[in-house]
Amino acid sequence: MATLELVVSDGVTAAPARRGRRLGPLFWAAIGWMALIFAVAILAPVLPLPSPTDMDMLERRAPFSLEHWLGTDGLGRDELARLIHGARISLVVGLCAPIIGLTIGGALGMLAGYFRGRFEALVVGSMDVLLAFPPLILALAVTAYLGQSILNLTLILGVLGIPAFMRVARAATLSLARREFVIAAEALGATHARILLRELLPNVMLPLLAFFLLGVAVTIVAEGALSFLGLGVPPPISSWGSMIGEGRESLDVAPRLAFLPAIAMFLTVLSFNLVGDSLRALTDPRQGAL
Partner 1 sequence: MSGRALLSVEDVAVDLPTPRGNLRAVDHVDLSVGAGRTLGIVGESGCGKTMLSRAILQLLPKKARLSGRVMFDGQDLARCGAGVLRKLRARSLAVVFQDPMTSLNPVLTIGTQLVETLQEHLELDAATARQRSAELLAAVGIPAPEQRLAQYPHQLSGGMRQRVAIAIALSCEPKLLIADEPTTALDVTIQAQILDLLAREQRRRHMAMILITHDLGVVAGRTDEVAVMYAGRVVERAPTVQLFKTMRMPYTEALFAAIPKLDAAPHTPLPAISGRPPDPTRPLRGCSFSPRCRYANGRCQQEKPALADAESPDHRYACFHPIAPAAGGAS
Judged by CB under 8 A, the residue of 186, 229, 262, 279 near partner 1 is: 186
Q: From the list 20, 134, 189, 236, which residue makes contact with partner 1 (rule: CB under 8 A)?
A: 189
Q: Is 4 in the site for partner 1 (CB under 8 A)?
A: yes
Residue 181 or 266: which CB sits closer to partner 1? Answer: 181
Q: How far apart are CA 178 and CA 87, in angstroms?
A: 44
* Minimum CB distance to partner 1 smaller for 124 or for 218: 124
CB 172 → partner 1: shortest distance, Å? 11
Q: Of residues 46, 57, 188, 193, which one binds partner 1 by CB under 8 A?
A: 188
Judged by CB under 8 A, does residue 202 bind partner 1? yes
The reply on whether position 203 binds partner 1 by CB under 8 A is yes
The residue (of 58 and 289) whose beta carbon lies closer to partner 1 is: 289
**179 counts as binding partner 1 under rule CB under 8 A:** yes
Q: Which one, 61 or 116, has the nearer CB to partner 1? A: 116
User: If DSSP states are collapsed to H, E and C, what string results for the chain?
Assistant: CCHHHHHHHHHHCCCCCCCCCCCHHHHHHHHHHHHHHHHHHHHCCCCCCCCCCCCCHHHCCCCCCCCCCCCECCCCCEHHHHHHHHHHHHHHHHHHHHHHHHHHHHHHHHHHHHHCHHHHHHHHHHHHHHHHCCHHHHHHHHHHHHCCCHHHHHHHHHHHHHHHHHHHHHHHHHHHHCCHHHHHHHHCCCCHHHHHHHHHHHHHHHHHHHHHHHHHHHHHHHHHHHHHCCCCCCCCCCCHHHHHHHHHCCCCCCCHHHHHHHHHHHHHHHHHHHHHHHHHHHHCHHHHHC
Contact at 8 Å (CB) between 74 and 135? no
Distance in Å, CB of 122 to partner 1, minimum = 17
Among 79, 199, 223, 246, binds partner 1 (CB under 8 A): 199
Tell which positions 116-135 bind partner 1, by CB under 8 A.
116
Site map 98..117 versus partner 1, x via CB under 8 A: ------------------x-
Site string for partner 1, 261-290 (x = CB under 8 A): ------------------------xx-xx-
Which of 184, 251, 263, 282: binder of partner 1 (CB under 8 A)?
Answer: 184
CA–CA separation, 81 and 56 (whole Å): 14
Footprint (CB under 8 A) of partner 1, residues 17-36: 17
Task: Choose, by CB under 8 A, the member of 183, 251, 263, 281 that binds partner 1.
Answer: 183
Contact 73, 247 (CB under 8 A): yes
Q: Are 75 and 236 in contact (CB under 8 A)?
A: no
**Applying CB under 8 A, which residues contact partner 1?**
1-2, 4-6, 9-10, 13-14, 17, 116, 179-181, 183-184, 186-191, 194, 198-199, 202-203, 206, 285-286, 288-289
